[in-house]
Amino acid sequence: MLPLPFNPPINKIFLPEFSKNGVEVHIQRDDYLHPFISGNKWRKLKYVVEDAANKKCNHLVSFGGAYSNHLVALACAGAMLKFKTTAFVRGENVNNHMLNFCKWYGMNLIFVSREAFKNKIELYEEFAKKNELTYFIDEGGRGELGAKGCTEIIKEKTGFTHTFCAVGTGTTLAGLAINASQYSIKAEGICVLKGAEGINQDVENIAGINVPIHHNFHAGGYAKTTPELLSFAKHFAQNTGILLDQIYTAKLMFGILQLINQNYFEPNSKILAIHTGGLLGMLTAIE
Ligand SMILES: *Cc1c(COP(=O)(O)O)cnc(C)c1O
């Protein structure tokens, strides 16, 4: 199964712009958990693969785009734990480093049109008729079992007032919010998609509480970037040694920085940002 290999360390960010008004920003290095089952994907898969094994399934079936961190993580975890893996990939048959990692780990890829991809249950049920002992995992590993793994992100209070993570499906934030509330830490999310206000309800449905999500730091939409975002991520890498991927964690840290500049936080707030990994996705941005 997927017990956590270790508790990831927390690094303080020593950059003047991150320490205005006595505010401190620290970053929990979940990106260290595993290079391919990266960051939150390890946590999100932990109880999903346990459930699959309990149900005596041996074939994990999931869904994603052509650059999905979730699919690479699933392919690797499947190989580690001796599950077969199949993924429905949205869009035309393409080749890229992410899908090549999936194939290298033995994942069976089925490319489907954007139209067909919308009906995941139907795709899964057709597939399950012809294959034995299959187990359905939603796109991005979203859902309650995924969130359950994320309720283990924070291990102790250590004086933090806030914790922040990037939001795709909101599954990580939902688990983090349940986790943080035990330590009276306020959890908030930075959404990386445009026009995704509906996620607030998804998060509330799982977490059972209202969790603030900032919807103005998506830089144009999912996987979109701006020159400011990329130069921020480079500056951050060059002055901390910490890589941020342009799709999730750069938007997270740039969002936190902008909130600091807007005096959103009380003086002396202590913020714990979660580095959810995703660094393989950087290879498309680096030139
Ligand atoms: C998948 C991913 C997320 C999004 O997590 P959700 O639980 O879907 O909100 C955040 N950060 C990174 C690096 C990811 O790969």
Enumerate the domain spans of the chain. Answer: 10-38+144-286, 40-141
Pick the CATH number of 10-38+144-286 from 3.40.50.2000, 3.40.50.1100, 2.30.180.10, 3.30.56.10: 3.40.50.1100
Fold category of 40-141 in CATH: Rossmann fold (3.40.50)
Q: Over range 56-63, report the average pLDDT.
A: 98
Q: Whole-model pTM above 0.85? A: yes
Give the H or E element holding residue 191.
strand 186-191
Can you list the positions of beta strands (E) in 95-201? 108-112, 134-136, 162-167, 186-191
Asked whether 233 and 225 are in contact (CB, 8 A), the reply is no
Two structure tokens written together for 229: 């975002």
The residue whose CB lies within 8 Å of the most ligand 1 atoms, and thus the one to mutate among 41, 152, 167, 276, is 276
Protein residue with least CA distance to atom 4, ligand 1? 168
Q: Is 166 in the pocket of ligand 1 (CB under 6 A)?
A: yes
Q: Cα dist. 3→42, 45, 46, 61, 82 in Å?
A: 9, 10, 7, 21, 16
Q: Is 277 in the pocket of ligand 1 (CB under 6 A)?
A: yes
Protein residue with least CA distance to atom 5, ligand 1? 168
3-class secondary-structure state, position 59:
strand
Asked whether 63 and 117 are in contact (CB, 8 A), the reply is yes
Q: Over range 111-122, report the average pLDDT.
A: 97
Determine the pLDDT at residue 287. Answer: 67
Q: Over range 210-220, report the average pLDDT.
A: 98
Question: What's the CA gap between 256 and 258, in Å, rounded?
Answer: 5
Residue (of 100, 94, 96) closest to 75 by Cα position:
100
Question: What's the CA gap between 203 and 207, in Å, rounded?
Answer: 6
3-class secondary-structure state, position 225:
coil
Q: Is 39 in the pocket of ligand 1 (CB under 6 A)?
A: yes
3-class secondary-structure state, position 186:
strand
Q: Is 68 in the pocket of ligand 1 (CB under 6 A)?
A: no
- What is the Å distance from ligand 1's center to 12 Cα? 22
pLDDT tens by residue, 221-251: 999 999 999 999 999 999 999 999 999 999 9
Q: Is 278 in the pocket of ligand 1 (CB under 6 A)?
A: yes
- What is the Å distance from ligand 1's center to 93 Cα? 24
